[in-house]
């Protein structure tokens, strides 16, 4: 199976991605790290602690950066609720946190690993940028970065920018220019990755994890996503588990960090106008039907 480090800001779609990843036999999550994004770092970390404990998965978990590299934290509580995972109201144990911070724990794990590890960030890229900047020697141990973020088209947080990139554009710039193999799973595909109510209603209701999903989904659905749930972060896991669901193109991608109007835009040079070498494999197409079948199977595995 594929060893990964999962960097996350749960977040409802983060939570769904965590569930799918932890039960996928093709994926071996060696470490989970948290970052500030959808809500603040205390809440994203608490959500990761209670969700992993609830799922009964003993996963090494480390707390990450509490603010973007140079900017103030904006958030997405309007979508995910004040807790970041509204609808999840189970009292449970909390997975203990590792002693060191996320960046140091990632570094230690990478350097002690015999095989290269894939980084899967599905929140702002703050932790990953810090890792690559503080410990460039760790790059040799990174197989690739498969991230949820960005867009070759329009944005979801501002007209042009996707949320994860907008929150910490300087971090994104560092990550995209790190010279590592990078897969950008952005809005071009995640916006199509909608789980319609029929699929959610058809998920088994027999076990507690599924009941939890129904509750969380129910909450999400009462808000802005009545016609179906957009599973942004789950697409990064789908890409690792079943890459043939996606069409990709190797492109040069840069990040806008100075314009007020287009801050955080991923400028994807699809037609190679700049004549630069590609630095990312950009997901431009998704087999939506195939994704739905994959997601249904992935979420039915929870026990
Ligand atoms: C991204 O923003 C967050 O709200 C989601 O969890 C996802 O990672 C989508 O733009
Ligand atoms: Ca996220």
Q: What pLDDT does 199 receive?
A: 77
Residue 274: pLDDT band by 50, 70, 90 thresholds? very high
Does residue 84 contact residue 10 with C-beta atoms inside 8 Å?
A: yes
pLDDT at 64: 98
Query: Which percentage of the chain shows pLDDT scores above 90?
Result: 74
Q: Please give the model's pTM, rounded to 2 decimal places.
A: 0.95
Q: In the prediction, which pLDDT does 249 show?
A: 98
Banded pLDDT at 206 (limits 50, 70, 90): very low
Q: Is the Cβ atom of 164 under 6 angstroms away from ligand 1? A: yes
Question: Which among 254, 252, 256, 255 has a CA at the least distance from the CA of 279?
Answer: 252
CA of 273 relative to ligand 2 center, distance in Å: 31
Tell me the average pLDDT across 204-220.
Answer: 61
Give the Cα separation of 127 and 24 in Å (integer). Answer: 25
What band does 227 get if pLDDT is binned at 50, 70 and 90? low
């710039």: which residue's tokens? 173
Q: Kind of pairing, strands 194-195 and 27-34?
A: unpaired
Ligand with the closest atom to the CA of 165: 1
Substitution site in 51, 220, 232 for ligand 1 pocket (most atoms within 8 Å of beta carbon): 232
Note the pLDDT of residue 189.
98
What tens digit of pLDDT does each residue of 248-268 get?
Answer: 999 999 999 999 999 999 999
Name the burial class of residue 293, with classes exposed (0-12), middle (13-18) and buried (19+) by CB atoms within 10 angstroms of its CB: middle
CA–centroid distance, residue 53 to ligand 1 (Å) = 23
Q: How many CB atoms lie within 10 A of CB 111?
A: 12
Question: Does 214 participate in catalysis according to the annotation?
Answer: no
As a whole number, mean pLDDT of residues 138-143 equals 98
Spatial CB neighbours of 238, under 8 Å, sequence gap ≥ 6: 20, 193, 245, 246, 291, 294, 295, 298
Ligand 1 contact, 122 CB (< 6 A):
yes
pLDDT in tens, 145-198: 999 999 999 999 999 999 999 999 999 999 999 999 999 999 999 999 988 877
Give dist(CA 274, CA 7) in Å, integer: 31
Give me the DSSP letters along the chain: -EEEEEEE---HHHHHHHHHHHT-TTEEEEEEEE-SSSS-HHHHHHHHHHHHHHTT----EE---SS-SSSPPP--HHHH-TTSSTT-------PPPPSS-HHHHHHHHHHH-SS-EEEEE-S-SHHHHHHHHH-GGGGGGEEEEEEE---SS--SSSSS--HHHHHSHHHHHHHHTS-S-EEEE-HHHHTT-EE-HHHHHHS--SSHHHHHHHHHHHHHHHTT-TT-EE-HHHHHHHHHH-GGGEEEEEEEEEE--S-TTTTT-EEEETT-TT-PPP-EEEEEEE-HHHHHHHHHHHHHT--
Indicate the range of 25-39, 81-95, 118-132 predicted with least confidence. 81-95
Q: Which residue's entry shows tokens 């996707």?
A: 162
Q: Tell me: ipTM over 0.95.
A: yes
- Average predicted confidence (pLDDT) for the chain: 91
Please check the confidence at residue 285 and state whether its pLDDT lies above 60.
Answer: yes
**Does ligand 1 have an atom closer than 6 angstroms to the CB of 254?**
no
- In this prediction, residue 200 carries a pLDDT of 73
Question: At residue 207, does pLDDT exceed 60?
Answer: no
Instruction: For residue 38, give the ligand 1 atom closest to its CA.
Output: 4
């Amino acid at each position: 199976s594929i060893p990964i480090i999962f960097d996350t800001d749960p977040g409802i779609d983060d939570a769904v991605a965590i569930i799918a990843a932890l039960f996928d036999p093709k994926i071996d999550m060696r470490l989970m790290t948290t970052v500030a994004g959808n809500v603040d770092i205390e809440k994203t970390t608490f959500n990761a602690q209670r969700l992993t404990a609830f799922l009964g998965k003993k996963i090494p978990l480390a707390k990450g950066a509490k603010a973007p590299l140079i900017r103030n934290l904006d958030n997405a509580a309007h979508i995910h609720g004040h807790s970041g995972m509204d609808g999840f109201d189970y009292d449970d144990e909390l997975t203990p946190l590792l002693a060191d911070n996320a960046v140091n724990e990632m570094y230690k794990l990478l350097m002690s690993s015999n095989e290269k590890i894939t980084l899967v960030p599905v929140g702002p890229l703050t932790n990953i940028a810090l890792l690559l900047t503080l410990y460039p020697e760790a790059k040799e141990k990174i197989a690739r970065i498969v991230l949820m973020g960005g867009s070759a088209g329009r944005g979801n947080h501002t007209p042009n920018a996707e949320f994860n990139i907008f929150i910490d554009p300087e971090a994104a710039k560092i990550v995209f220019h790190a010279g590592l193999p990078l897969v950008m799973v952005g809005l071009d595909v995640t916006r199509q990755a909608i789980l319609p109510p029929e699929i959610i209603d058809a998920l088994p209701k027999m076990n507690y994890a599924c009941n939890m999903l129904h509750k969380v989904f129910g909450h999400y659905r009462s808000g802005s996503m009545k016609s179906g749930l957009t599973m942004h972060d789950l697409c990064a896991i789908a890409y690792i588990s079943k890459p043939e669901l996606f069409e990709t193109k190797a492109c040069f991608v840069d990040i806008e960090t100075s314009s007020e109007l287009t801050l955080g835009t991923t400028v994807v040079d699809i037609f190679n106008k700049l004549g630069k070498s590609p630095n990312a494999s950009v997901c431009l197409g998704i087999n939506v039907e195939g994704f739905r079948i994959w997601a249904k199977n992935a979420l039915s595995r929870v026990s």
